[in-house]
Structure 1
Amino acid sequence: MTYRNHLIISAVLMLMLVTGYWAYDGSIVPASNSQSPIIRQDADYFLVDALVKEYDLTGALHYQLKSDSITHYPHNDNTLLQLPVLTNFSDNGQVTTSRSENGKLLPGGKDIELWDNVVIIQSSPSKKQHADVHSSENPLKQELRMDTDFITISPDLEVASTDRPVLITNDTGETRAIGMTAYYKQGRVQLKSRVRGVYEPE
């Protein structure tokens, strides 16, 4: 075999190897009969001026959720809320009202996220009145206000938590902190870090 013929055969073999590599590398995709399931990401229901109420085992109103609109997405079971107002009614008569510009009911419907201008106000019935806390005839006295930009609330447990900056104000002053957990029933607030307060004696 001459040297020239040897070079030609080598070139042909090299060409075959390169062609086979590109075919194996993905240029040729084998046909498949299986198809990926199509997941719809549009809403399956939409409510305007919605009001949801939850009662305890004794039949007393435990909490209620109002929202200008409620939009549910089945692909992730999230429910978006516009201008939500969540009101918790504790056994001791304390009423905690949480409002924001936006919110989301998480999958399972147990926890709610609120964000954008979140305001939480804890109030108690007037000491001179002992009527039903749900009655409009029973005035409530504001005791504590909490402002933040994001919070997660568990209405059933009456617990709210955030890792964002928070401002807490009451009759005697104000407190700022990074992160907070509020226990509605116990009337207790646990601050996480960088706590600063201003106290104004009466």
Structure 2
Amino acid sequence: MKHWSSALFPLVLLLTLTSLTYWLRYVTDQPETRNDGKNRHDPDYIMYDATLRKIGESGRLEYTLKADTVTHYPDNDTLDVSKPNLVHAGRGAQVTVTADTAHVSEDNERIDLNGNVIIRRAASPKHKALTGATPALTVLPDADKAFTKSPVLVTQGTSWAKGIGLQMDMRAETYRIESRVRAMLESPRARKKTP
């Protein structure tokens, strides 16, 4: 009987050490929780009276974003903007878009503008000045495009058009209202109304 108990003690000790080894490995392999704020949606900086500019690869100014405040969130690398004034200085006529607020994506390729969105396209050799109004607009600055699924009103001189949804191509200087369109277009010569 002594022989069995003397063999059992090293076996129990070995099992205990093996269990402790697995427990230590489990504890040390747990991901470390970060306490640097990266996991929270808290701003890491706020800029007041800010001007952000995007310069293209050719060194030409593509657009300027001015705002009362710009708030950066490190957890998703996005920006929230108050009173944005986006000036697109692309290939066509200059387009300025203002709104109450905006949200800029982490890659700066999408700007979602909300609240009292006003679109102003300057006059060009091809077109008169144009103004548009909508509650929301998404701008894709690198693609020189913008769109909305919201109601929109576009005016140019005494002509106007309204409907639901808008597709803008700032390079081609085209504005397409998607549905439920109503318009009044005046010809400078004939002064004709079209419903």
TM-score if structure 2 supplies the norm length?
A: 0.73
Looking at structure 1, the residues matched to 154 and 33 of structure 2 have their Cα atoms a distance apart, in angstroms, of 48
Change (3 A) 1:150 1:55: same
Contact kept in structure 1, 2:96 and 2:121, CA below 8 Å: yes
- Asked if 1:108 corresponds to 2:110, the answer is no
**4+ runs deviating over 4 angstroms:** 32-38
- Worse-superposed segment, 116-125 or 36-45: 36-45
Cα separation, 1, equivalents of 2:40 and 2:46: 16
Q: Which residues in structure 2 correspond to 1:56-67 (within 5 Å)?
A: 56-67=56-67
What is the match of residue 70 of structure 2?
A: 70
- Separation in 2, partners of 1:42, 1:199: 49
Q: How far apart are the structure 1 equivalents of 2:98 and 2:113? A: 8
Question: Matches of residues 3-42 of structure 1 in structure 2 within 5 Å?
Answer: 37=33, 39-42=39-42
Q: Specify the code of the residue in structure 2 equivalent to 1:153.
A: V
Looking at structure 2, the residues matched to 201 and 88 of structure 1 have their Cα atoms a distance apart, in angstroms, of: 29
Could you list the runs of 5+ residues in structure 1 that have no partner in the other structure? 1-31, 128-140
Report the CA distance between 1:195 and its aligned residue.
0.8
The alpha carbon displacement at 1:199 in A equals: 1.9
Quick check: 2:97–2:119 contact (8 Å CA) kept in 1? yes
Distance 1:195 1:125 in 2: 25
Instruction: Give, in angstroms, the shift of residue 60 of structure 1.
Output: 2.0
Distance 1:161 1:85 in 2: 17
Match of 2:119 in 1: 120
| % identity of equivalent residues | 29
Distance 1:192 1:116, change over 3 A: same
Q: Does the 8 Å CA contact 1:121/1:142 hold for their aligned counterparts?
A: no
Q: CA deviation at 1:118?
A: 0.2
Matches within 5 A, 1:160-175: 160-175=146-161
CA distance in 2 between partners of 1:69 and 1:153 (Å): 19
Please, which moves more after superposition, 97-106 or 190-199? 190-199
CA distance in 2, matches of 1:101, 1:167: 18
Partner of 1:49: 49
Deviations 1:90-125 (A, max 9, x none): 224x10000001111112111101000000100135
Q: Secondary structure at the match of 1:156?
A: helix
Q: Which residue of 2 aligns with 1:199?
A: 185
Q: Is the counterpart of residue 188 in structure 1 residue 188 in structure 2?
A: no
CA distance in 1, matches of 2:82, 2:128: 25
Task: Work out the CA distance in 2 between the residues paired with 1:84 and 1:142.
Answer: 25
TM-superposed CA distance for 1:191, in Å, is: 1.7
Query: Partner residue of 1:90?
Result: 90
Separation in 1 of the partners of 2:157 and 2:109? 32
What is aligned with 1:143? Answer: 129
Q: Which residue of 1 aligns with 2:8?
A: none
Unaligned runs of 5+ residues in structure 2 are 1-25, 189-195
Aligned equivalent of 1:158: 144
